[in-house]
Structure 1
């Protein structure tokens, strides 16, 4: 396993639609393991392959530490590996969570999404699965699946706030280029 760099807004690859995985093989499993290590190191609760510049329909999530009441236990892990995930059912009832994103560091906003979803996907062995989720897991799955479609959580907030965030990150990226000569 190895840590991968996470691409940051305004990187245009974040707007790319990721390609389906055609075969679940050792290369895909290595990608999943690298993504999980990168997500834990960040630290985060979800990561889409496109966030490490790999345009494949692959996500990893682990909300176990965040859903526990009380003190966080860093040893409690429950990673979920999803290949070619798709939302097949979403509730009409909605919930609001404050979301953040490893590709938009240090920016958070409340986002309203369906409260419950059913996701169909292939697991790390290529076996078809379905997962019913609510609460933080439902929000995280929707957030990461959005990434696979080139959608960022800031697309769910007001245009004014979104424009401010995009402008700030574009300015920061330009400053980094000016200071180092590279991005």
Structure 2
């Protein structure tokens, strides 16, 4: 029978799974339910925990379509080598995160006769098994994330979208370089204004006028480019638009004041 998969923000029903001591009809039906749910959702594996069961059971779907049943699985060894991949999980549907895990692992498990087996896994198989065994401890990949990746993933959870990783507003933008040139040009205009008090150079007003045209043009470029750049970060579009408009108004106000002072004093 196909079961509902527990998804965020619903917490697992228990903190730790319970080892299977007797394989009875209940356990056999549970294993079949896990298989049916895997097929129905086109998944590569599930832990019983993920469909609300307290038992320590993991089922993996192999490439040939058969299933590997792992009762009471435990990781007993891992290599020093680590591997970082982008993982997805049914608990956080539609979301992904970069997770660092052991590249090679050794596990022990039991079959339906409660006979113990061991296996070694590497690469994708090792990652899949680690993900599923995590659930038997009431955990998910969020507990394996680095602090920076966890912050990015929490942003994804907030917006309910995997593209939120690229929408986190950065602290600096390329448009800031344009603003820096504008500020330098206006400082030069102030210097020319002050210099006019100590010089009879008739060309200073012309230089001031030409510079003001350049600053005005740069403000126009800044305004439109900033909006273009801001579209990459739609999670904070409203605050960016307000900042862009405010910055442009302030810059133009400074330019206006400088030119008024220059007109009367130069």
Band of TM-score, shorter chain: 0.7 to 0.9
Residue 111 of structure 1, aligned match among 77, 81, 99: 99
Q: TM-score, length-normalised on structure 2?
A: 0.56
Structure 1 residues 23-172: aligned runs within 5 Å: 23-64=22-63, 76-157=64-145, 158-168=149-159
* Aligned Cα root-mean-square deviation (Å): 1.7
SS at match of 1:104: coil
Counterparts of 2:129 and 2:77 in 1: how far apart (Å)? 13
CA, structure 1 residues 134+168, in 2 after alignment: closer, same or farther (shift >3 Å)?
same
Question: 1:22 maps to what in 2?
Answer: 21
- Measured after TM superposition, the shift of residue 86 of structure 1 is 0.3
CA, structure 1 residues 17+167, in 2 after alignment: closer, same or farther (shift >3 Å)?
farther
Question: 1:68 maps to what in 2?
Answer: none
For structure 1, the residue ranges without an aligned partner over 5 or more in a row are 65-75, 170-183
Aligned pair count reads 157
Counterparts of 1:160 and 1:23 in 2: how far apart (Å)? 42
Which stretch has the larger CA shift, 55-64 or 156-165?
156-165
The question of whether the paired residues in 2 share the 8 Å contact of 1:3 and 1:38 is answered with yes
SS at match of 1:121: strand
Question: 2:239 maps to what in 1?
Answer: none
More helix by share: 2
Superposed structure 1 runs of 4+ greater than 4 Å apart: none
Relative CO higher for 1 or 2, CA cutoff 8 Å, sep ≥ 6?
A: 1
Counterparts of 1:53 and 1:104 in 2: how far apart (Å)? 15
Q: TM-score, length-normalised on structure 1?
A: 0.79
Counterparts of 1:89 and 1:116 in 2: how far apart (Å)? 8
Task: Find the structure with the greater CA-based Rg.
Answer: 2
Counterparts of 2:42 and 2:8 in 1: how far apart (Å)? 18
For structure 2, the residue ranges without an aligned partner over 5 or more in a row are 161-266
CA, structure 1 residues 139+102, in 2 after alignment: closer, same or farther (shift >3 Å)?
same
- Measured after TM superposition, the shift of residue 6 of structure 1 is 0.6
The question of whether the paired residues in 2 share the 8 Å contact of 1:85 and 1:121 is answered with yes
CA, structure 1 residues 45+14, in 2 after alignment: closer, same or farther (shift >3 Å)?
farther
